[in-house]
Structure 1
Amino acid sequence: MNIPNNVKELILKRKEKFVNDKNLQLIGKPGYSSPDEHILPDALTSLVLHKNVLLKGPTGAGKTKLAESLSAEVGQPMHSINCSVDLDAEALLGFKTLVEKEGNTTIQFVEGPVIQAMKNGHLLYIDEINMAKPETLPILNGVLDYRRTITNPFTGEVIKAAEGFTVIAAINEGYVGTVPLNEALKNRFIVIDVPYIQGSILEGVLKSQSSLSDGDLIKSFVQLSEDLVTQVRNGQIPEEAASVRALIDTCDLAVFMPPMRAIQRGIIDKVEDEREKAAIRNIAETIFG
């Protein structure tokens, strides 16, 4: 990975800051690979310059793995939020609860991932940020811009983020259930396009991250992935059918069952439309028989 020396120095400083952090179990695992050799170093550079990073790409392209690899590279714990239409302020910031202590009942505020990350100077990963309702996200405006500040509506506390706090977010544009990301919000990020992993890079990922060791079978699964990606780009099958995550699961299953049955369980049965299922099955049968 080609990283400028001045960026390496900033990475080392971050690692030193968190070496004794009590939340080291929150550090992500490395392993992201990409056909674009600049993605990881560019994302790292943005991160150590305290820029928020928005990872944009199709489902299963490895955005979460990239976020985990960034956490691992800088040795910085990362708190995560999975967005949905039900996401509210409590899921982001925390909630009040009753606590019994020494025979007395008191109200205690349990801090959510945003406040935990801010107070500790950790990373905050917001997955599928464009799945959240548009009226929910403005809560984060002050968190994401130069102020790095939020007033907790549940306690009145004004929280200023500790040094090192940075946000990584991910979006799947055009995916069912998503909404266009507000331009003012998008403007608070450095945007990095994350493409599908293919060819020899995908082969390496399958060898290192799945249980399958049969080299010929792995090459066949790489071919399957390439054919599925082509069909996704042609609009014939949904993005999740070409997910690297689903492919790794399928390779694991193929250690213990015939490949076609593994593909059925790991990929085909995740798709709802019968025509799309048939298209995936036909592609798989041309490769695996």
Structure 2
Amino acid sequence: MTTQSTGTRDTGYVTRMRDHVGQRVVGREHELDLVLAAVAAGRDILLEGPPGTSKSTLLRAIAEEWGIPFVLVEGNADLTPSKLIGGHDPSRVLREGYKDENFVDGPLVRAMREGGFLYIEEFNRAPDDTLNTLLTAMAEREVTVPRVGSVTAQPTFRIIASMNPYDNVGTTRLSSSVHDRFNRLVVDYQGADDERAIVALRTGLGPSDSIGTITTPDDDDQLPADLAAALVADSVALTRATRDHEDTRQGSSVRGAIDLALVGAQLLAMRGIETPGEGRLTDEDTPRRRYAESMRDAAMVALSGRLHVDAASATTPERVVQEIWEDHYLLHPAAAAGG
């Protein structure tokens, strides 16, 4: 049944929407069901999890499938209530005075007028008075704008927020009144299989034809299929290891694996490496050694800046990457061989 006041959709519509969105998002079937159920029921929702866990990808896909705007806002100390709501164009005010037509909608008012998703990243970095502005919009589906009047939200308007539970620098503790108005869903990293699928999709390092070659992004060169498969698998394995290392407070998201695969592909091509090699890694100048050293160099570039080393540790991000590389290629060669 359709409830016009909240934008609730019938179960048949939501089921069809879930199927369509599921074709555009790798994994996340469980999270997709829960987010869809919440927004279809007319509720606002807070997604809590580390960066790079497909939160915005999932929400963009839902908004596009629903046919509504996706309004992205970054939460920070500069996000004041006036920036969120909007204001009159100063130059036009001087010429024309305060008129409705020279009011410039802020992201909140725009999302309300157009019935879109207002997605606020780093929600717990926004000032308290800004969050309090959202409370009225959430509770009443209406805000009062000085010299403009009341703005009433369209039925499909939702506020969706995200925050990183591992980041406590520059963040504020959310009040109970804010928590009370949100549904909440914890979103963690995806499994290794899903992350490999994401990296293959985002880098173009997936099978492109039936002759065993992979087309690299941005050019017409091709990587041998075994090299591309190793590149994807090793990039994901090295990235996932950053999350479990004893000296890291927070590791890299799958974005690091994507960049590692892309940088690695360019390095391998520049160095003329066409195979991941076989066997144990030795000190000899072998294809296996050249491939592994290229992956180490690419990992330093792609992963070291994404690591948050524990403050109590005396190590560095570069040393952590080196240790992860040694563990992958030297201590566990059977798992690393051939990707």
* TM-score category, normalised to shorter length: 0.7 to 0.9
Q: Give the residue type in structure 2 aligned to 1:131.
A: R
- 1:216-273 per-position Cα deviation (integer Å, ceiling 9, x unaligned): 1111122113312222xx5x2142x321123222222222123323222222034475
CA 1:29–1:123 in 2, change beyond 3 Å: closer, same or farther? farther
Whether the 8 Å contact between 2:22 and 2:29 is mirrored in structure 1 is: no
Query: Which amino acid counterpart does residue 237 of structure 1 have in structure 2?
Result: T
Cα displacement (A) at 1:66: 2.3
| Counterpart contact for 2:145–2:151, Cα < 8 Å | yes
Larger radius of gyration: 2
Deviation at 1:8, TM superposition (A): 3.5
Cα shift at 1:73: 3.5
* Equivalent position to 1:230, from 230, 233, 244: 244
The offset of 1:208, in angstroms, is 0.8
Q: Whose RCO is larger (CA < 8 A, sep 6+)?
A: 1
Identify unmatched segments of 5+ residues in structure 2: 1-8, 207-227, 268-293, 331-339
1:206 corresponds to: 199
Query: Please, which of 42, 51, 57 is the counterpart of residue 50 of structure 1?
Result: 42
| 1:276 Cα deviation after fit | 3.9
The alpha-carbon deviation at position 142 of structure 1 amounts to 1.0
| SS of match in other structure, 1:61 | coil
1:78 and 1:124 in contact (8 A); partners too? yes
Structure 1 stretches lacking a partner, 5+ long: 14-27
Partner of residue 244, structure 1? 254
Q: Retained in 2: the 8 A contact 1:259–1:288?
A: no
Cα distance in 1 for partners of 2:243, 2:166 equals 16
- Gap change, CA 1:253 and 1:91, over 3 Å in 2: farther
Q: What is the total number of aligned residue pairs between the two structures?
A: 263
Give the deviation of 1:79 after TM superposition. Answer: 0.6
Q: Structure 1 pair 87/207, CA: closer, same or farther in 2 (3 Å)?
A: same
Say whether 1:133 aligns with 2:127.
yes
Secondary structure of 1:187's match? helix
Deviation at 1:43, TM superposition (A): 0.6
The 1:171/1:269 distance shift into structure 2, 3 A limit, reads closer
RMSD: 2.8
Q: C-alpha offsets along residues 57-91 of structure 1, whole Å, 9 cap, x if unaligned?
A: 12222222222232234232211100112211232
Alignment of structure 1 residues 62-141 onto 2, 5 Å: 62-99=54-91, 104=95, 108-141=102-135
Contact residue 249 and residue 308 of structure 2 kept, 8 A: no
Superposition TM-score, scaled by structure 2 size: 0.69
Q: Percent identity?
A: 24
- Asked if 2 retains the 8 angstrom alpha-carbon contact of 1:120 and 1:162, the reply is yes
1:269 paired with 2:305, answer yes
Work out the CA distance in 2 between the residues paired with 1:42 and 1:272.
Answer: 30
Question: What is aligned with 1:279?
Answer: 320
Contact 2:87–2:103, Cα closer than 8 Å, also in 1: yes
Output the CA distance in 2 between the equivalents of 1:29 and 1:77: 19
Kept in 2, the 8 Å contact 1:229–1:242? The answer is yes
Amino acid at match of 2:260: T
